[in-house]
C-alpha cells in the first residue's frame, strides 16, 4: 500500500469489521475524502494528524435508498466502474467461510439468491440471517429470497437488503 500513499482523491470504505482506517486515510491526496458506509461493532481509532496534515476529510453515509442506489449505478456505468465478486450458490457458503478464514479470497463473495429456491434446508439447519447482494437488480433478490423462505414466514429469519427488510 505504501506505493499508493497520497494517490487517491476518494475512498469508499464498505468494511463492516474492525480495521485500520488510518492506513486508508494515508492513501488520500490533499483534500481527499474517505467515506464510511460499513459500520463496525466498535468505533474506529482515527489519527487526527492523518486528517489535519493532509487536509483530508472523513465522512459517513447510510447505504441510501433506491434513488441514491440508482444514481450510484448510473455513475458507475457512465465511468465504466465495476466490482469484482465471486458469485457462489448458497450450497457453498460453508466452503466460502472456510476460505475466508484461511485468507484464500480474492473478491467479495456474493450469494446467488436463485440457489436458495432449492435450499430451504439452510433455515432448517439454523441459518437465520440472509444478506442479499445486488446481483440481479432492485427487488429481484428480495423476490427470490421471499419465495424460497415463504414456508418460514413468522419464524426468526432476518433478511436485510439494500432496499427493504423482508421479515425478522
CATH of residue 57's domain is 3.40.50.720
Taking CA atoms, 116 is separated from 2, 66, 92, 145, 152, in Å, by: 42, 24, 11, 7, 13
Residue 162, domain member (yes or no): no
* CA–CA gap between residue 1 and residue 12 (Å, rounded): 16
pLDDT single digits (tens) 106-138: 877 777 767 766 655 566 666 655 555 554 555
Residue 159, domain member (yes or no): no
| CB contact at 8 A, 50 and 26 | yes
Q: How many CA atoms lie within 13 A of 67 on its CB side?
A: 0
The pLDDT value recorded for residue 123 is 60
**Cross-strand bridge partners of residue 150:** none
Q: Pairing relation of β-strands 108-112 and 85-89? A: parallel
* CA–CA gap between residue 156 and residue 138 (Å, rounded): 24
Residue 100, domain member (yes or no): yes
Radius of gyration of the chain (CA): 19
pLDDT single digits (tens) 32-82: 999 888 777 788 899 999 899 999 999 988 766 667 777 877 888 898 887
Residue 168, domain member (yes or no): no
* CA–CA gap between residue 117 and residue 105 (Å, rounded): 26
Residue 47, domain member (yes or no): yes
The predicted model scores a pTM of 0.45
The pLDDT value recorded for residue 146 is 67
* CA–CA gap between residue 117 and residue 119 (Å, rounded): 6
Question: Are 46 and 103 part of one and the same domain?
Answer: no
How is residue 130 written as a grid cell? Answer: 440472509
pLDDT at 5 over 60: yes
Residue 54, domain member (yes or no): yes
DSSP class of residue 128 equals -
The pLDDT value recorded for residue 160 is 46
Please identify which residue in the block is written with the cell numbers 449505478: 73
The pLDDT value recorded for residue 14 is 79
The pLDDT value recorded for residue 48 is 92
Question: Are 42 and 96 part of one and the same domain?
Answer: no
Residue 20, domain member (yes or no): yes
Residue 89, domain member (yes or no): yes
DSSP class of residue 118 equals G
* CA–CA gap between residue 42 and residue 157 (Å, rounded): 25
Domain that holds residue 31: 2-62
The pLDDT value recorded for residue 3 is 85
Q: Is 39 left (phi over 0), alpha (psi -120 to 50) or beta?
A: beta
Amino acid at each position: 500500500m505504501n506505493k499508493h500513499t497520497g494517490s487517491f482523491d476518494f475512498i469508499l470504505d464498505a468494511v463492516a469489521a474492525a480495521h485500520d482506517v488510518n492506513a486508508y486515510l494515508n492513501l488520500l491526496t490533499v483534500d481527499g475524502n474517505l467515506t464510511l458506509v460499513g459500520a463496525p461493532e466498535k468505533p474506529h481509532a482515527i489519527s487526527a494528524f492523518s486528517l489535519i496534515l493532509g487536509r483530508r476529510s472523513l465522512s459517513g453515509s447510510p447505504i441510501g435508498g433506491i434513488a441514491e442506489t440508482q444514481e450510484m449505478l448510473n455513475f458507475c456505468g457512465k465511468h465504466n466502474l465495476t466490482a469484482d465478486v465471486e458469485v457462489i450458490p448458497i450450497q457453498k457458503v460453508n466452503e466460502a467461510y472456510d476460505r475466508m478464514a484461511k485468507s484464500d479470497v480474492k473478491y467479495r463473495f456474493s450469494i446467488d439468491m436463485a440457489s436458495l429456491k432449492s435450499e430451504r434446508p439452510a433455515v432448517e439447519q439454523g441459518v437465520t440471517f440472509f444478506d442479499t447482494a445486488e446481483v440481479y437488480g432492485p427487488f429481484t433478490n428480495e423476490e427470490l429470497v421471499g419465495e424460497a423462505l415463504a414456508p418460514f414466514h413468522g419464524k426468526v429469519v432476518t433478511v436485510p437488503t439494500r432496499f427493504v427488510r423482508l421479515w425478522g
